[in-house]
Structure 1
Amino acid sequence: MVIRLFTLLILLGTVSVTWAQSIPAELQVDPNYSADRLVREVFATDRCETIFNVRQIGTNPDGIGYFSAPDDVVGFNRGIVISSGRVRDAVGPNRRTDTGSEISGPTPDPDLDIASRGRVHDRSGVEFDFIPLTPQVSFRYVFASEEYCEFVGGNFNDIFGFFISGPGFNGPYANGAVNAALIPGTNQAVTINNVNFRTNKQFYLDNESAEVRGSLNCGGEPTNGPRFQKIEYDGQTVILTATLKVIPCETYHIRLVVADVNDSDLDSAVFLEAGSFDLGSSVSLESKDDAEEEDAPIIAYEGCRPAVMRVVRGPDSNPDTDQTIAYRVASNSQAREGVDFSAATGIATIPAGQNFTEVPIHAFADDEAEGEEEAFILLDAPCACFTDSVRVIIREPEPITAALNDPYLYCPSEKGTLTANIQGGVPPFTYRWSIGSDAAEPTFSGTLPDEISLQVTDACGETLTSTARTEPAEPPTLHFPDQDLSACWGDELTMRYDLSGTGPFKVYYRLDGGPTRVVSIPDNQSEAWTVTRGGTYNIVRIEDQACSVDVSELARANFYKPVLDASYEDPTCSGGADGSISVNHLKTVAPYTYRIDGEPVPSANTGGFPAGSYNVKVTDALGCEDSSTVQLRAPAPLEPIDINCNQLRRLPFETSAGGGIPPYSYSVGGRQFVEDIWPTLVPGNFYNLVIRDAVGCELSQPNFYFPQAAPRAVSLPNFIPQQVGESVRIELYHRVPLNQIYSYRWEPAELFDCPTCAEPTLTAPFTQDIDLTIEDVYGCIDSLTTYVAVDGRAPLYIPTAFSPNGDGTNDYISVFANGDLVDRVMSFRIFTRWGEQVYADTDFAPNNAQRGWDGFIGGRPAHVGTYVWSVEILLYNGDVQEESGTVMLTGH
């Protein structure tokens, strides 16, 4: 095959509802299915989705439904049922002979009105459009009715039909439709009068009670019908098949409809098998030889018997039904159909129950030497979702040749087989040997005639005869002479032997008692056999052109390799040269030589190596060698103690060396080594420290400074008090030795006399934060903040009372102040309690007892009482400060 493509997705979705359910013990009917679902999911096998415009015929949904039942009810397990009454009434037992229900009343129908002699009632069914993928579509059905058997022969019977219209149909019904519900082998429609207990009774199944059958003279057995307890209808047909001859890929319309005639009294129904409306399953086109060679072409020889094309069902095909497909020869084929070959009719049907059918391919003989010609046969369904093709090769048959060895040697003492070299011709071949056999390779025993002949005939009828003289022969012999069969692994050994007989030879042997192997030797001029595997070779059988003989001839082949497995000891310390290498290897042929990095070494065990990569090689007396790379690794070098900030923040202080092989021990000055030396050291001191790891490697760390661990290096007071205009010296609380601190940095720097000193003098004009950043000798940084609290109250004094009586004491109210802090009095004013200004002075120095208010207003003594004063003063730093208060004038 050239192409195989088909889609199973539609198949899986289509049949899942139908086939995945279990078979019930009795007939079950479910009217709760839409027409679309009944057609697509139950009735049809529509892999390529070529069904559309599905709709119900009739207005009452009770007239169509899904059913399931055992095999002995309608003959198939599942499907859809359409009825002129309620589909639920189909369920057995057969309680009445006149079951009926009105589901829609008088209902004209374009097809049933033509087929019927009376008025159509309660029509029910489904209709849809479809595009077939194959030239034949069929489905299986059963017709059942309550009008059996009492109304057989009447003028008015219930009616049903499968009316199909479309290309190729020109029938008497609407749109040129024909009725596909026909009695097998006839053009008669299936009706109650055409299929019953009298007419075409081979297609009829009775379901009446014995009483009714006897009273109506309907014939049959004197017992109830075999389905009496299982279905309501009084009679039914056997399973019938409706067959539609269609044109692939054209559009057709089908109406599946049943109805009562003249009344709604008695019901009839049609059961349609699930999945039987098959629009076309996938197939493959194959050569008959496809089983031996995938995608093998069909080989047809001119003038010979036909080749065979197989049409094989696809995995989605229903094996219980016929499957018909159309095929054609591709237009671009080199070989011409009808001129060079024929491929039958273009239609092939796989019978039910079979997996494939065969189509003959005839290649026509001509007088032209054309060489091979090629054609392609394709599935002829362009609207399908699957396709396939097969290649056909037309060949001219070659002349047949048949050659027997002359003389034909044979061994009289043993059973033999006659063979011939057949060339050309067209297989299969027929054979006729002069010894009376028609086998291709007949067996014989004993002595042959002096002459034998073979007549060969190929598939095209060409015959050729070959004759040869016969000659008896002696069995062959083989013997191994003494020899040294030793070599290095990977080389070849030449195994010499003495051989007699008539070649070609086959020598059968077993290696070390293993399975039997065979080696071919062209003739007895060969004297050596090349082997690459070591072991004991036991020759068990020899065959030459004529005879075979069992023997037992032994030879031992040895292949050596001193497979190396070096062991080593790494250097003890970083930078050391005490590593060693020991060369261990398989024993082969002594003596041995050893090399490390190309240099010979005196023995297999050598020391004094630093860390590094070394190539180690061993060579035996045969020159067989092996090598390996050894990597010596020294431990990491010891690393001095590196103190970090995290260690300094935790108590108790813990630290450790690094590198080497832990655990580590320590010594001061090379004296006793202990693992926990730190409690013996004094913070702030320097030591000559020696570090030793677990294997004795040492490292000196001179001038090792032992620190003090603390959460932070210093502490600041919560605040620093300072008077305005004054300075204060800051005192720190050091938590670590002073030599552990590398630097101080105070900010704002302009407030300090030495911003990088440990305890500077601070002069702050007002209350504010100050920051200290400390870095220790390990680079660890602390940032601390406190604040300076400046007493901002002005050093100002104004008396609370004065008596301007001229006694020289307290005669004025004046401004007194701290001269270091107050530069000038900018203004000094006095008011009555009602806000009337009685005195004012500006821009003068404080502390003048004679400069102030003398208690007079306009030259008159002011009234005794309380007055309000207000003063503005200029401070040393340029700030202006306002103050106010009251003063009591006590008398004059």
Structure 2
Amino acid sequence: MRIGMLIVVLSMAGHGLFAQPPENDDCMGVIDLGRAPYCPDSSDPVNTAAIFSNSHATASSIGAGNNPTCFNGGTVQRDVWFAFTTSDTIIDYTITVTGVPGPAGEPALLNPQVALYRGVCAVNSLAELLCASASPGQNRVVLQAEGLTPNITYFLRINDFSETATSPAGSFSICIDKRNPIHLISEGSSTACSGLLYDAGGPDGDYSNNENHTFTICPTPPSACINFTLSYFNIEYNDFATTDQLLFYDGAAALPGNLITAIGGIDYASASSGVCFAVQATSGCLTVQFVSDGSATFDGFAGSWTCSAVPCVVNSPISVDATASAQAIITALSTPQTQATITHIDCGAGAYGTFAAGDNTDLGLRQGLLLTTGELRYAPGPNFSPGDGNIFTADLGSPGDVDLDTLSTLFGNGTRSQDACVIELDVFANTNELAFEYIFGSEEYPEFANDDYNDIFAFLISGPGIAGLPALNNQLNIATLPGTNTFVEINSVNNLNNWEYYRNNEVGLSLQYDGLTADFLGVKKSLTARATVTPCQTYHLKLAIADRFDGIYDSGVFIAELRGGTPEIAVNFNSGVDYLIEGCTDQPDEIVFRMDNPPGAAVAYNVVLGGTATLGLDYTLALPPQLTFAPGTNEIVFPVSVLTDLNDQEGTETVTIMLTRDFGCGLVILAELEIELRDRLRVDINTGQDTVRLCMNTRTELVVEGATTYFWTPVSVFDNPTSSTPLATPAEDGWVYVVGQVGPGCVATDSIYLLQATPRVTIATAATALCRGQSISLSAETNTNGEGLTWSPDDGSLSATTGLTVEASPSVSTYYFADVQVNGCAVKDSVYIQVDSLPQLLTITADPAENRYCQGERVVLSSPAYDPAHYANIMHTWSGIGLETADSLYNIILTATDTFTYQRMTTNGGCVAVAEVTLHVITAEGITIQPRDPLICLGESIDLVVNSTAGGTISWSPATALSCADCFAPTASPMVTTVYSPSITIEGCTFLPMVSVRVNSPPSIQLIDNQAICSGDTVQLNLAVPAAGVDYFWTSLQDPNFSSNDPGLRISPNESDTYTLTASNDCGAAMEQTATLFVNTPPAGLTIAAVPVLTGTHPTVDLAADVADGGGSGTFEWTLAGVLIGTNTPLVGYQPAAANLPAYAVVTYRNACGVLTDSVLLQLLDYRIPTIFSPNGDGVNDVFKPFIQGTVDQLTMEIYNRWGQLVFATNDPANFGWDGLYKGQPAPADVYLYHIRLGITGENLTTSGQVTLVR
């Protein structure tokens, strides 16, 4: 028995050791759960297939994003895979994994974790969508999956985590069911991206006493913004004791530091009831806490939340215009159903005007008229003050309104009004109803509700068929709660009375007013004022508001456009996209005709159907030509279906629907709707952008639209591949793709290129300095085409803060910055614009100050002094004539030269100013002397005439040889050339013109006689300076054809000659000189006679030189190797040292006209021949050869034995020795005969003899 038990134990151990992993150990072996919902009863013993296990599972890998974001430890050991396909009607699911015992008693899975994927089972092809992990020690995990695409396969990855070394793997069940969007605060938490939250009493019950619940919303994946809106709240209120509270925290816990705001509690100024209250959380989680005391219970609250990957959009303040004209108000109020005319305005200054509220405000009306009890400018948010403006100016001190006081007496405590603002209009009604939306707001909410300190307003209508109050002259107040006669005012609508119409705005950002009115339970944020009227009639409308009891806290009423009570047309797009589309869904969309106020009797409207789409071909819509609303009916619905055709190139077509009616005063278009009809689904990334630039290692948000669900690839790039606004973090440049889907099988794709490119920006400007009061253009050169570009500082000196080019008008020196921020990547450039100024007084004055200045007079030009310390870079530049000082000085000295306008340009950085002054100068320009340069012969006279256009007096200097010294036309008779300078005085200015009277004297000649030159040389014969008015003539003794008139004649004769020069002038005087010129010939050639080769120990050489042709007298000089060996002789005998040969002997010949040289080479040939040699290899006398002094270029040596046999021969001068071998063998010792011939440069010597070979 023990043996058997041991075998069983060993067998089980062996089975555990070699157990196989489950079939769904990785994604390729996934278990398909089929179409959701999938939720079998795992407790049924028969239904064992509903139980799964991850025992013995191993870790799998899917490539990018392998480790789910929420898995504890970040590992995927023991993970198993499942798949399911979504329904075509359910998009929100609750996925539950519960550890249960296995069919055979296997342990239940502990600490389960689950991740949801979309994609395909391949590496880098699955995208994690959601993830959830159980709390330690728990066997159940819940995953809320919202917005899944119909008919798409999703994947579940399930494993466990262990806090110890023990594996918690085991069996589990899976339930994939339709998500219930309703949560109670007592449930504790949700990871869903959207949902509904109620108090613990649920939608239909009240909350209980002594509750303390927190509900934490942490969507997965984490979101950038959670928007939470209370559709209504009604909790216990107590002015002076702590009571029920509803609190909101930006975070995953109810920590005081995370508190956003609180409703209720002990603060009597905090409203405990209302509608349309919104908060935002940016941490990724929002915590809602509700605490009740033990005294009373109320309805509680109902709220909803949505999450977004996009950062929260913060509400903006509304804008108001207190200067709006009457026409601007009419424009804001008019519609095709009404025509209004303002008949009276009675408001305090700045108390009324128009308002505009965009998409990012929470007012609830887009535009219209605003009336206040204070000033319009106090109305825009954010709500950071009590709203009284300045306590000394908020009370306008203006009167009230009689009609408002009547209402206060009839229906209130009779408190009189003040600070009234009233606008009255006449309105022509084209329809049977006059209606408009309005919102009343006040700073007296909530603390002065149900008190005497509250303001009043009314909308009073009168006209045909209006049954008003006699006390109000038959005016009817239509500012009432829907379906009642309750006037809307602070005491009738607040956090205690009719709270279903009250909005708490204590933390609002768009408006200052603490409280606002709304429709019932916030179905819309405005109330409707309406009156049944007779069509085609004019009605009087009085819009009035006023303070009561005091004038400090302000109130205001926002009034939208005046319209008829006509139907509205809308579309319910059941496909999920806001256009009609072919072939995407079998469920028709719906055209909805709706009236706010159901008619008391049947009313009919004409239906006009149009557009570019064709009814019956592109779509079906059974609209009658006339639409009738039965009594009590406020909505009529017609299905519209799109017909699929084969033409998918039709583009976008339109369907238009109009409701018209003639109430008796002309056909009026009451409502109009245009619907797009597309032939196929189209998705669009970033509104058609084809490339997104982003910084390296950063991420960017992509926005896609056009479908209801999306899937992005490559999935590894995106944080949420199924989002319409995913964050993309590319590792490299490349395309990303999205598949959009509508319905079960209608898909479309789009792509965009992600380019990792760092933006660049450079500021270009024509100058970086300007003068105060000037502007300069700044241009940004970017590689983003201006995307993400902003300029700063925003101090009013820039014409704009966006755009590639802006105008800067700084008043002081300023740094300007161009910032480019593209998808989180920021760069900037800056430029420093220097703002300069100049001294105020730059006028120029002249010293001396005269009307006219004499030419040559010194003048000082100066300006008022300034402090140079205030103008560090100031510079001056003068333009003018006769400046004596530098043109860069502030003040200058000049010599008056002529009438001139002097200018000084003064600069200081970017400032430039030009000052000028004109000096009128009396000049000698009008003074002339004729003739200008007279020439007379010796003994002659000439008349000198002075012309002066300005007259004056004259005095000549010198007066020598003049007929008069003070006349303007004297006769001059000088004997020599004389310069006369008459002194002419004109208006006190003296001028000294000059004239030179030249006297023509006899001409001058200076020839040099008996000059000697060489043939070919050039020589000038006359050294005298030529004189004007003299004629020169040359002749030659040897050449009768030679002549010249050049006084400075230069000649190059080849033979000696005698030349004569004759000079004569106009006065008849003449002179003549003669000079002889000797011409020498240069030597023609020089040669040295040939010299034979020298021999012997002490050779002697005779050298002879010969000069050809014109040697003439000259000298000889002989050198050998640079050493002088002879002079003054053409013949030289010389004994050179043998050691100095070979060498060149050089002769040089010189005479007056040239130098010649020639040379000859001296060579020595000397030798010795031995008579015995011993070729025994001892290195001494081993070779027989002649020993030569000098070099040879020819050698022949022959050696014979005693029998006449040739034993050795050579003709190589470089290697001519005999080594004693004959035919390669040592020759015998003996006497041998030799014959040797030596030569150098053709000279040969021959010798013969005997030599003894000794062994």
Fold agreement, TM-score > 0.5: no
TM-score of the pair, normalised by structure 2: 0.21
Output the TM-score relative to the length of structure 1: 0.28
